[in-house]
Amino acid sequence: MISKRLQTVTSMVERAVCVADIGCDHGFVPIYMVENGICERAIAMDVRSGPLGKATDNVSRAGLSDRIELRLSDGADKLNVGEADAITICGMGGALIRSIMEAKPEVFRGADRLVLGPQSEIYDFRRFLLESGYDINDEQVVFEEEKYYFLIKSQYIGMPQCYNEAELNYGRHPLMRRDETLKGYILKERQLALRVLDGLPDKSIPAGVKNLNRIRFIDNVLGDYYG
């Protein structure tokens, strides 16, 4: 069964001549995209030889060794400018994805589209993209296996962009669509902040003030975007 995240990543890539999947793990993303005509060929890359070996086996079993190239690479180190018109990096923390992009910026700036799935530091990662001249063309929120995942479609345009606080926290596109999956994520955040607040004997201490302000902020977001 194909996961929601894989389907969403695929839909955000749309069509490409070559997709580079950085941190490919067992190679399921490039295999799926080549098999389903999303791209003509792919480059599957991972810093670990173990997962890359399994990806090699999976690519071979799928009969795609002539269309999917596997590379042992620390981030985008072994990817040249212009080799891939689409790049995907999913399943890593936002700080790690940022470090990969900053280590070889010319590769990411030269791609037609990026599909990025930061699993932590998402606020800071959005801000990094926007301040670094990347546009966020779309963002999807996926709920799978009791977890929320944010997938960002981006492209370098060379001009800094600006988001308000709500958009930095939750993504402009899902908010503008009044995305119901995002609403579930926001409500979960509120519940967690309320639980922490209720567990404090003195709500005037810094932790109490912080969580109370967070709840007020969330309530304002819900009111502004969800009515």
Give the pLDDT confidence of 62-74 residue by residue, as tens digits.
999 999 999 999 9
What is the band of 48 on the pLDDT scale with cuts at 50, 70, 90? very high
What is the band of 86 on the pLDDT scale with cuts at 50, 70, 90? very high
pLDDT at 110: 95
Mean pLDDT along residues 156-179:
97
pLDDT at 205: 86
Mean pLDDT along residues 21-40:
95
User: What is the DSSP secondary-structure string of the chain?
Assistant: ---HHHHHHHHHH-SEEEEEEET-TTSHHHHHHHHTTSEEEEEEEES-HHHHHHHHHHHHHTT-TTTEEEEE-STTTT--TTS-SEEEEEEE-HHHHHHHHHHSHHHHHTSSEEEEEESS-HHHHHHHHHHTTEEEEEEEEEEETTEEEEEEEEEE-SS-----HHHHHH-HHHHHTT-HHHHHHHHHHHHHHHHHHHT-S-TTSHHHHHHHHHHHHHHHHHHHHH-
Give the pLDDT confidence of 108-165 residue by residue, as tens digits.
999 999 999 999 999 999 999 999 999 999 999 999 999 999 999 999 999 999 999 9
